[in-house]
Structure 1
Amino acid sequence: MMIKGSPELKLDGDKVFCTACAKMIACDKKFQVDQHLRTASHNAKVHKLKSGPVQQSVRMSFDNASDKTKSEKDVFNQELCRAFVAANIPLKKLQNQQLREFLQKHCNQNISDESTLRKKSLQVLYENVIQEIRTTIYKNNYYVIVDESTDACGRYIVHLIIGTLKEDGPGKPHLIASKELQKTNNVTVTRFIQQALSKFFLPNQVPAEKFLVFLSDSAAYMVKVGQNLKIFYSNMVHVTCLLHGINRVAEAIRMEYPLVNKLISSVKKVFLKVPLRVQLYKEKFPGVSLPPEPVITRWGTWIKAAIFYADHFDLIKELILEIQDNSQCVIDSQKLLNITAVAKDLVFIKTNFGFIPDIILSLENRYLSLRDSVNLVNTFSDKCKKVPGAIDFCGLVWMSERLAFSIYVITFKRFNYMCNK
């Protein structure tokens, strides 16, 4: 360590080493160091060394070499950690002996333990990546996507995704914040967005004028969140997701056919956690997959299940009627399969609403162009209008989401205007 005011003096442990004189200074008090600095011999050697190299002590040489090795080790650990994270490989895989030996052999580096990478390298890597994202976002207009979901423990988790808006389309989205909320309403979500953006861009550096699009679902509290954010971001336009509107149509269809919904639920329970029935099904119908298990939060899965039952209604009916069991699910399934209206409803759903899962899947494509999105939405609207019979529920739900689609188009035009401004 260099002593302030005397660069030729170095602290070597608990001793003082003079690089000019190349010797240790025997000193217990400061005046002894000052006395050495005033000697003619020392001053002459200092003058001579101004144009030449400075001699280092043995310990200093080892410390410099150690610092260099440590720096190389840190770089290797960060790059190794980045590669594993980018490839979605858990760091605990480094505990595998064959993998460690392979990396040590071909990388000529000692592989650190997973805990070391997680404690030291992962945080540095995270900060570097956040800085890269921040630099990219700060130079461009940007959009924000916020959505709330429930985890396996029933906790409310809200996520914030941010991405750039350019003339050639939206950029890659980045998840920059996740937080558990005690309750979900417009106040808590608005506060979360403000805090997340302030932390991401650093306080007092949020480019409010470049925040152009806020995308969310069409929940009532999210609409209020958009109104709250409009106060702080005057150029922002709130757009509700079109897929939520289409999913509401699918939910209306499910509610319109309660017997079909009950059949799907009952047959699902028949084969759930009963290996003997599953084995009987596979033996009787080889090559035919088990009845699907729709999940309400997975859009379009209920209609897919209805299509499956329409295609294999006779097979499923034959098998269920053969089961001799007093289970409530079996009894309910047998009753429903004997109702003629259920078979007719399944055929009707398949014929008139079978296109909805494909539309949802197509609109989920991240890189879908605006023109293709508009065409898909118009196709959906046209097919819904052609459904025979009482279709008021489709028309009403669709018209309720028509405003969101109009805002989507207006947003695109406004974005072009802002880019060319």
Structure 2
Amino acid sequence: MRKFLFENVTNGGAIPGFHQLQEKYLGNVYLKEKEALRKRLAKKPIAVIFDETPDVEGRCVLNILIAPLEKDESGRILAYLADTVFLEQCNHSTVSVSVVKCLQEYDIANEDVIVFDTDNAAYMKKAYTAALQSLFPNSLHVTCMAHIMNLIGDAFRRPFDQLNAFMLSFSQMFYHAGSRKRRYLQFMSGKHPTRQKATMAPNPCATRWNSWFKAVQYHSEHFKLYKEFIEMEIKVSGSSAPQSVERLHEMLQNEDMAQCLQVQLSIMADKCKHILQLLDIFQSRKPITTKVFDYFEDLQMNFTANKELQYESCAEHFEGLDVHHATKTHILNLVHLAYSNAEEKLTREC
């Protein structure tokens, strides 16, 4: 590029390199923008949003955003990234010190801080109660409703060890396996020729809070096709079949286990709709603060009603399957435990 500019552009050789832009100009631009933001925030009521996340190197990264609590020209309240702090240790002490230091750098008066908004992690709540609450007397601590719902969802799905093992193996089967993904999509397209396009199963991921429930709904819809596909993969892979494919083959060849998985997927795909709906609501951009109490009250009643689930209430999920009585009892006990765990977590967090 530099050779091209030098040969074809007048004074092309005088264009500085990227390192010169970084070393000479970027710092000045940053300070100028920081000063402009300081003036924009001066003497205004503000909300402080902060959250921690790991980076690709496994370090703790704390992002601190500040939002003036007044609408801009477009009628929106905007949050600005004020600082990104790399923490050697992430706890309530390091978090509160970083937040206070950031606010001091922007000359924000303590009485102007109205809201602290964090997730529902214990160390975040302690950062407020142990330090920030006393320093900022006008402040209110608001926790993320979506994070609370994610914690409830974690408690809800925890008892299903067999189901979680199946879903994990299914995801692992496609790691670094482009040819297997192509075969799977071709297989699913052949089974559903009228559909627009075959898709991969959602990958349950800790950072996408509704992904486990989406995956359950996907697997419940396609489960009857998996045995045939896995048998094809065993033939294609031969002795080099990965452990994930072998585990799935073993599960699906065991008729009792396969039926147990099918029923669990069917029940969970149906029963998780309420949790999935609230997760979507709480992660949307629509203000729902005035409805939060009603949402959680409805959720509490839903958990209470389903905690003592009887076979008659979910008989449709067993239709067409010759499931042993002991297996039915085991599945209903898992559902009972899931709702009990979720109800306990809801009571504790709210």
Quickly name the TM-score band, shorter chain normalised: 0.7 to 0.9
Report what 2:188 is aligned to: 285
Question: TM-score of the superposition, structure 2-length normalised?
Answer: 0.75
Q: Does 1:345 align with 2:264?
A: yes
Structure-1 separation of matches of 2:210 and 2:132: 32
Listed as ranges, the matches of 1:308-319 within 5 Å are: 308-319=218-229
* Cross-structure match for 2:135: 232
Q: Distance in 1 between matches of 2:34 and 2:299?
A: 39
Q: Is contact 1:281-1:319 (8 Å) kept?
A: yes
Q: CA 1:126–1:357 in structure 2 vs 1: closer, same or farther (change >3 Å)?
A: farther
Counterpart CA distance in 2 for 1:96 and 1:138 is 48
The range that moved more, 277-286 or 236-245, is 277-286
Give secondary structure in 2 for the equivalent of 1:288: coil
Q: What is aligned with 2:156?
A: 253
Superposition CA RMSD, Å: 3.1
When residues 166 and 276 of structure 1 are mapped into structure 2, their CA distance, relative to the original with a 3 A threshold, is closer
2:178 aligned partner, one-letter code: P
Counterpart of 1:333 in structure 2 is 248
Change (3 A) 1:331 1:195: same
Helix, strand or coil: the match of 2:173? helix
Q: 1:96 to 1:277 in 2, by over 3 A?
A: farther
Correspondent of 1:121 among 25, 36, 52: 25
Check if 1:189 corresponds to 2:91: no
Report the TM-score when normalising by structure 1: 0.64
Q: 2:79 aligns with which of 173, 179, 202?
A: 173
1:222 aligns with 2:124: yes
The residue identity in structure 1 corresponding to 2:85 is K
After superposition, where does 1:118-157 map in structure 2 within 5 Å? 118-157=22-61
Match among 193, 208, 217 for residue 110 of structure 2: 208
- For residue 360 of structure 1, what is the aligned residue in structure 2? 279
Indicate yes or no: 2:207 matched with 1:297: yes
2:341 corresponds to which of 385, 390, 393: 393
Cα deviation for residue 184 of structure 1 reads 1.4
Deviations 1:333-365 (A, max 9, x none): 123334211111111111111343443233223
* Runs of 5+ unmatched residues, structure 1: 1-93, 105-109, 403-421
User: Which of the two has higher C-alpha Rg?
Assistant: 1
Q: Which runs of 5+ in 2 are unaligned?
A: 190-196, 310-335
SS in 1 for 2:198: coil
Following the alignment from structure 2 to structure 1, what is the Cα–Cα distance between the partners of residues 17 and 178?
43
What is the deviation of 1:386? 4.8
- Does the residue aligned with 1:291 lie in a helix, a strand or coil? coil
Q: Structure 1 counterpart of 2:202, which letter? A: P
C-alpha distance in 2 between matches for 1:306 and 1:354: 11
Deviations 1:112-161 (A, max 9, x none): 55444333333232222222222222231111112111111111111111
1:241 corresponding residue in structure 2: 144
For residues 54-75 of structure 1, the C-alpha deviation after alignment (integer angstroms, 9 at most, x for no partner) is: xxxxxxxxxxxxxxxxxxxxxx
Partner of 1:49: none
- Bigger RCO of structures 1 and 2 (CA < 8 A, at least 6 apart): 2
3-state SS, counterpart of residue 213 of structure 1 = strand
